[in-house]
Structure 1
């Protein structure tokens, strides 16, 4: 049962009247988080209804076979994309062999103790195969050829693979095309041995990868198929394919990879000594009406990188656990499965070992429930990586800090440094509990109850110093449950989206897609504006913040949480922010009543001294009355000419950026144009917005991104 099922079950158990009475107890202005959780935890109805059974998403030989047979059908139709997809599903659902069943294999015995003891011994990944010396390829090709010859000699006339596997009028031409597939219509390789189904799926996928000229990936699958007891009567074709793969690699044949990744290009940044991961151009301050916020210590130029750090906790959403690696979050089209569950994938054996030794190994059994609500998964994962011992030592201290320390100092360590690696920063993130309604707090507390029960079920959280599980007492349960509740509340107003960037037909044609969520304490310090001065990108958990326009020393650096003023009109925009983040926005765009249609292509000159509008007729500022046009001030006509010239250049700059997005002179020209508008043009202005959009695109291009081979985009 998922979270919403548990919530409905509890609502039915309590009934409308008691549910209303229970909700009334969840008032954060008068009741602490500890008391709210303790009250709910001690209710008999809650303990009766919220019973969890942490069982992994089961493997199924029947489903694995069904997916493999569907893959066979698509393979016969030459639809390699669909065939690959179904073979991937077959691999995910195939029952993984137990460690004991492979103990005789010397290769398999060299795995790790993390549960991935069945990994290919070399732990190789595509790219490393071809890097070996040519003599290795020559040697393996000769060995594969000898194996094929030996198998052919030993084959009896009754061997299932004969000339008429697929009877057809075309004769041997059709036979040659389908010969790559090991399993004909009779499914001769089927066996009740669990690992055979996995071997057959790997063998069939290797055929698809071979035809896609993905020789390195095909070789890996061939090795995996042989490792998992591939049927003896079918090894001939597998070894023959291995020989052809090695020959192709030796001859230098290659095609673009299924998924090609381009690393991020990090701009130089002088690090801050007081905000770890941030630029020394930033300072942390506190304002009673806003709380903690980030300000510029010096003038900041457009495009300047202000923050680079990894998310403290992140997770894939339910829609992408089967498309992206659970360890590195990379998009993968030829994955390896989790040995236990059928939900997640990994891009390689090394990533699988890392995942099983890390977060996935601790949440595999509970994942079907955890995936039903992202905050539940993030809370569970954060507590697991923090450990119960650390929570027990630190949380009482941090609770006392929250009561006694000033709000300006919360989250800082003893050296007055804000460091995301310090659990203190995570704990002291704002919850907005006092602004939240009772039904919402109750629903989040139900999440915390489920998380606590799953932590108990895991037998990996409540462990002693030797790592031995123990039965937690009521004090331990309440402490961990209240901490889970606290973190769930912080996620609502502090988490950020995690995206992946996929290149399309041109380098600048990059599509972003939401794949999960993360939490970065430093990123949470930036306040919202509907007209932000900076933007962030959390690409596969790697967070980067860069300036969108000029920021003067002392000014606040802001981000847009969504929506920006160009995306939504004032009234619905403020209503959304009030509902989602519990604050009334008073940014420049909201107080100025900017709407989504107010970003005009026309422009108004602003006074560089006070920022007010300059009257072009009198050439004087309407606020400070400063007159422009003299020798000691700027020339209004000259500024107008520069703006017209810049506006005419925007389409050309956009085209040049598409043709060569990494060209430094394009970036420098873009930055100088934004600075011109920042100084002399009164916002909102459409050309100014367009220039900032181009700057975003440039930074997107320099982020980690990938491109899929033709036919898979």
Structure 2
């Protein structure tokens, strides 16, 4: 993740306002000071309140805007440009004044009651969208829009044409010979599962445990031999956020692409893919962002994720929980942090998000000052929102100075932890590449506590990615008992030189990598050796092909047998056949596709296992196999296929 919060211009204005006092203020920000004290100091700066208080644009529904988009849609529809007409009718619906929605038994979306004449714009937009959906043979969706138009005050004198369209839809749907292609087809992949959970960390496989060291802190280690392709962790994503450009093309709840969206009844910023997702969003976190989303939605995800982490925990519980976690940090060993009273590391428990690494002590003063500015802005947004500081009865209560500092200090912490632990949220696009191959498009970010335990290696042993609302960790090489389970924070050794990798890691993650690829300065992919050398199991030097002896310790590999040696000629033949099988498969399978066969994975996994066991690394064919396996593992996720011309 980037170390930028996207607030540099605001911070520069504050620094200019502080003038000669800035250096004195900056000296009070250092890694050994706690976040509460640093935030309290920041909150006391009148210059901060003058320059950083957000000015939130108004995002109200507009009959005029709705009418404008609808008329533009009509022009596109008349020109038979159905895809453009659909987009414009969607905008008309999103901007139209909306009546209240009842969510559950007793919760209503916070939109003002609209008389029929005000909701007429919404009804007209739904009716017009139903027309283009009918032309596109999306009959079920057409019927839904006709129903919505009727429910929202569609004019009586125009209803007859909707009734006829409804009848035509029913006839078409009852015609078994009619061929219809959906604009958007959603393909669901069976969610990955772990065979047996770690009893203390349920999101982890029992093949993995958490360990602690003074040099790297908490990390993950294998408890038994792990095979390539094995799922090691499946965890519900704790928080996720979309980048601004996707807010009106993807569902705000499930993040799936939607071509026929439903609006929020209050704001014009986001969309939902279904009534179910809309109900979940309006009764959940969207309620806490709706009226500030015109400002919050434009911010970097490294600001939005901390806001969502904090607001998952109601304010009436927050102070008590933060005090408890503070006491736990002071009394418990590092390896016990995040575990509840039952000794469980529960991914849904806020305490697990309060013990992630922040690298606070390694950040320079300017970085801490900027992050504190970010926390200040988020706290201001919470105050402007008036949906977070609620009492037991759900009524707004004016926060005290102490309340504000507690919340701001927590946000300060979560911004730092997200910068060190966040993941990019990828969407699989079924035909995104120039050659028709699937592509992973980053549309946002996410964070989860268990998957954050894996440390970095430039030759990572696992991949970590999102699959729907799950974070999943999968092995891409053999991991022996006692070996660390490592993920990758950036492009690996094959794509970047060691100097570039170390520069990026030092800047954004504040450590110098000491993985084998860095310590031994492995070459990039283009310069990796294609030929392979077998390794001695005793000293790990290469075995001479001329006499079958280890080049260093002299161990004999001409006969083999047992657990100490092997017959080098037999292994040479076995490796050669595995390489040949992999290269043959790759020749016919030029890119990672969606329609892969499990046999292709078996061929790849077999090669990786054999080379892990017998071959000196790095090696180009081995690296190629790991990249291929990683791509296939990433592609095993839900995706949508969109009709050509409607992307």
TM-score between both structures, scaled by the size of structure 1: 0.84
Match of 1:543 in 2: 471
- Whether 2:269 is the aligned partner of 1:343: answer yes
Match of 2:163 in 1: 239
Cα offsets for 1:89-127 (capped at 9, x unmatched): 12111222357xxxxxxxx899863318999xxxxxxxx
Distance 1:23 1:208 in 2: 59
Q: CA deviation at 1:257?
A: 2.3
**Aligned CA distance change for structure 1 residues 405 and 109 (closer, same or farther; 3 Å):** closer
Correspondences of 1:300-311 after superposition (within 5 Å): 300-311=226-237
Correspondences of 1:182-331 after superposition (within 5 Å): 193-252=117-176, 253-265=178-190, 266-331=192-257
Match of 2:483 in 1: 555
Distance 1:365 1:565 in 2: 45
The more displaced of 380-389 and 109-118 is 109-118
- Whether 2:294 is the aligned partner of 1:368: answer yes
- Whether 2:595 is the aligned partner of 1:637: answer no
Distance 1:584 1:340 in 2: 48
Distance 2:576 2:21 in 1: 67
Q: Match for 1:13 among 13, 17, 21?
A: 17
**Aligned CA distance change for structure 1 residues 118 and 553 (closer, same or farther; 3 Å):** farther
Cα offsets for 1:243-276 (capped at 9, x unmatched): 1111111113352322222223325521110112
- Whether 2:507 is the aligned partner of 1:601: answer no
Distance 1:109 1:294 in 2: 42
Match of 2:578 in 1: 646
Distance 1:494 1:355 in 2: 25
Q: CA deviation at 1:493?
A: 0.1
Distance 2:72 2:621 in 1: 52
Match of 2:359 in 1: 432
**Aligned CA distance change for structure 1 residues 465 and 110 (closer, same or farther; 3 Å):** closer
**Aligned CA distance change for structure 1 residues 194 and 688 (closer, same or farther; 3 Å):** same
Match of 1:628 in 2: 557
Q: CA deviation at 1:325?
A: 0.6
Tell me if structure 2 keeps the 8 A contact 1:54–1:458.
no
Correspondences of 1:454-473 after superposition (within 5 Å): 454-473=381-400
Structure 1's unaligned 5+ residue stretches are 100-107, 120-190
Tell me if structure 1 keeps the 8 A contact 2:86–2:129.
yes
SS at match of 1:639: helix
Match of 1:46 in 2: 48
Tell me if structure 2 keeps the 8 A contact 1:111–1:117.
no
Match of 1:27 in 2: 30
TM-score between both structures, scaled by the size of structure 2: 0.92
SS at match of 1:613: coil
Match of 2:503 in 1: 575
Q: Match for 2:612 among 661, 678, 686?
A: 678
Tell me if structure 2 keeps the 8 A contact 1:460–1:469.
yes
SS at match of 1:557: strand
Q: Which has the larger radius of gyration?
A: 1
SS at match of 2:108: coil
Tell me if structure 1 keeps the 8 A contact 2:261–2:273.
yes
Q: CA deviation at 1:409?
A: 2.1
Tell me if structure 1 keeps the 8 A contact 2:232–2:474.
yes
- Whether 2:66 is the aligned partner of 1:64: answer yes
Match of 1:114 in 2: 108
Q: Match for 2:628 among 669, 680, 694?
A: 694
The more displaced of 545-554 and 217-226 is 217-226
Distance 1:711 1:461 in 2: 42
Tell me if structure 2 keeps the 8 A contact 1:500–1:513.
yes
Tell me if structure 2 keeps the 8 A contact 1:578–1:584.
yes
Cα offsets for 1:163-183 (capped at 9, x unmatched): xxxxxxxxxxxxxxxxxxxxx
Cα offsets for 1:669-688 (capped at 9, x unmatched): 32212111111222221211
Distance 1:26 1:342 in 2: 39
Cα offsets for 1:551-607 (capped at 9, x unmatched): 111111111111211111110111001111001000111111013233332222222
Matched residues, number: 631
Distance 1:637 1:509 in 2: 39
Cα offsets for 1:57-89 (capped at 9, x unmatched): 232333222222222222222222222112111
Distance 1:691 1:410 in 2: 38
Distance 1:590 1:300 in 2: 24
Cα offsets for 1:178-214 (capped at 9, x unmatched): xxxxxxxxxxxxx993322222221121122112211
Distance 2:385 2:592 in 1: 51
SS at match of 1:325: coil
Cα offsets for 1:287-306 (capped at 9, x unmatched): 21111110100000110000
SS at match of 2:209: strand
Q: CA deviation at 1:505?
A: 8.6
SS at match of 1:366: helix
Structure 2's unaligned 5+ residue stretches are 1-5
Distance 2:646 2:580 in 1: 38
Correspondences of 1:353-432 after superposition (within 5 Å): 353-371=279-297, 372-432=299-359
Match of 2:3 in 1: none
The more displaced of 295-304 and 479-488 is 479-488
Tell me if structure 1 keeps the 8 A contact 2:592–2:628.
no
**Aligned CA distance change for structure 1 residues 523 and 209 (closer, same or farther; 3 Å):** same
Cα offsets for 1:668-708 (capped at 9, x unmatched): 33221211111122222121122222222332342222211
**Aligned CA distance change for structure 1 residues 90 and 394 (closer, same or farther; 3 Å):** same
The more displaced of 108-117 and 228-237 is 108-117
**Aligned CA distance change for structure 1 residues 112 and 692 (closer, same or farther; 3 Å):** farther
Q: CA deviation at 1:659?
A: 8.1
Distance 1:622 1:408 in 2: 43
The more displaced of 301-310 and 73-82 is 73-82
Tell me if structure 1 keeps the 8 A contact 2:267–2:290.
yes
Match of 2:39 in 1: 37
